[in-house]
Amino acid sequence: MNKKISYLLGITAAISSTSIMAYTDAEIEKRFQYYEEKIQSLEKKVESGAFDKKTKKTIKRNKKKVARMADALATEKERVQINGFMTVGASRADDELGTGYLFNDRVNFRGDSKLGLQFDYKLSEDTNATVQLVARSRSEDTWRVDAEWAYISHDITSWVTTRVGRLRIPFYLYSESLDVGLSYPWVRPPIDLYTTVITSFDGIDFTFKANTGPINHRMQVWAAAQRGADNGNAQQIDIYDSYGINITSNWNAITARLATTQIKLEGKQVLERHDQIPVVALPGVEASSGGTAVCNAESLIPTTFGATCNQWDLTVDVLDAVYYHSAALQYDDGNLLLLYEGAVLKISEDLVFGDDRSNSFTAAYRSGSWTPYATMGRSKSELSAVGPQTKRKSRSFGLRYSLNDSTAVTVEWNHFYDMQGSGSFNASAIDTGDIDLDDTNVYSIVVDAVF
């Protein structure tokens, strides 16, 4: 029997089953005869093809609609790409070192952990829109979602591309993939060199591609619009007239990169100082820095020779130009990785901020799923109104194990030594009575994934 007719019979039986016992035999016989006539009528329609023709037309029409929808979805899928990355990590340090990674003497799960989603939409053959949202913690008690990338790009020619919007600050070799843990061998980029507090700028860039024989070149020229860094009524620094250029060249396993940047700063900086100073010396600090020094009342300690202050604020006006120059040289043949990066920060006035020099060298070797690596670094900042001269050296050892092509686990030990002053860490980590921070360690483990 035709399946459709069987289905109708089933429905009829279900509807009539609740009341069929209330009918007499004659009434039941009459109703069966009625349904039998209905079934015979449906069978005649099926045999004549009238029912199937109508159904076929409906099916054909629906198939066309489904095909059009499938084509539209396929086209849209080609235009939209969604990618993501994630890092889940924990670290512990010997002291309350601070930094953007929140190094402290307790296990901390926030400093290295982050989640990112990137959306790429093809507006036309030559134009694309890209948005990258990154959630991470830059303080002790909150997570923030920032648009690290939010730009529109356009291919002017096959060798020139421009982007307008929010872009990554291109200071380093790994600037474009700074948050993607699988793109580099470490738990985090070496903190002797890489800064992560400000990672993006609002502006425009132009990228030029060219070849000289077997060497591929990529040159990026960029300029940033004004960006204010407002941290309350007492502190505000505007960053403006920022521009730079960097050139990256590749030849087989060798990559070389040079970059230079100029940034202008204007505003005021409030610095909390925790070093002990005689109150009578505060006017001298004001004269040398051009700022205002105020001792916190609760930190005032009377002595035989006059009061001293253990905690005081220095407010200085900022009007300066920063020049940042960096260089990188990398050898990577798929197994052996050798990378050197160095940077020089020059301040035009040298009154508020001091010059800074830093460098880092890494050696790693990939063997199957395992990648052991070692890193050495050094940084030095000069004396300024913001702080005293600091120095530090570092060495790190780590081991990465790749669970698969998109997930890896990395453990790392960082040792900081030969420090002068705070070593650019939190000055309050210096023990009472000492002037230099003792050697200290940071222990970390992270899981990185891309999807």
Quick check: 369 and 402 in contact, CB under 8 A? yes
Tell which of 39, 74, 109 closes a domain.
Answer: 74
What's the pLDDT tens digit per position in 108-150? 888 899 999 999 999 998 999 999 999 988 665 678 888 999 9
Residues 86 and 199 in one domain: yes
* pLDDT at residue 11 tops 50: no
- Show which of 47, 74, 101 is a domain's final residue: 74
Contact 285, 266 (CB under 8 A): no
What pLDDT digit, counting tens, does each position of 29-63 carry?
Answer: 666 566 666 666 666 665 665 556 666 666 666 66
Q: Are 68 and 145 within one domain? A: no
When the pLDDT of each residue in the chain is averaged and rounded to a whole number, the result is 81
- Structure confidence at residue 263 (pLDDT): 85
Which band of pLDDT confidence, cut at 50, 70 and 90, is reported for residue 236? low
Q: Are residues 164 and 249 in the same domain?
A: yes
Stronger pLDDT, 176 or 25, i.e. the higher one = 176
> Which region among 84-98, 104-118, 119-133, 378-392 has the lowest average model confidence (pLDDT)?
378-392
The residue assigned the tokens 């700063």 is 265
- The Cα–Cα gap between 297 and 21 comes to 97
CATH of the domain at 180: 2.40.160.10
Domain that holds residue 365: 75-274+311-450
* Residue 416, token pair as written in the block: 């900081």
Q: Are 203 and 224 in contact (CB under 8 A)?
A: yes
Q: Which letter, b or e, does each residue of 147-166 get, where b requires 16 or more Cβ atoms within 10 Å of its Cβ? A: ebbbbebeeeeeeebebebb
Both 225 and 366 in one domain: the answer is yes
Average pLDDT over residues 189-210: 87
> What's the token pair of residue 123?
């507006």
Residue with tokens 């009528």: 41
Q: Which of 74, 90, 106 is the last residue of a domain?
A: 74
pLDDT of residue 133: 95
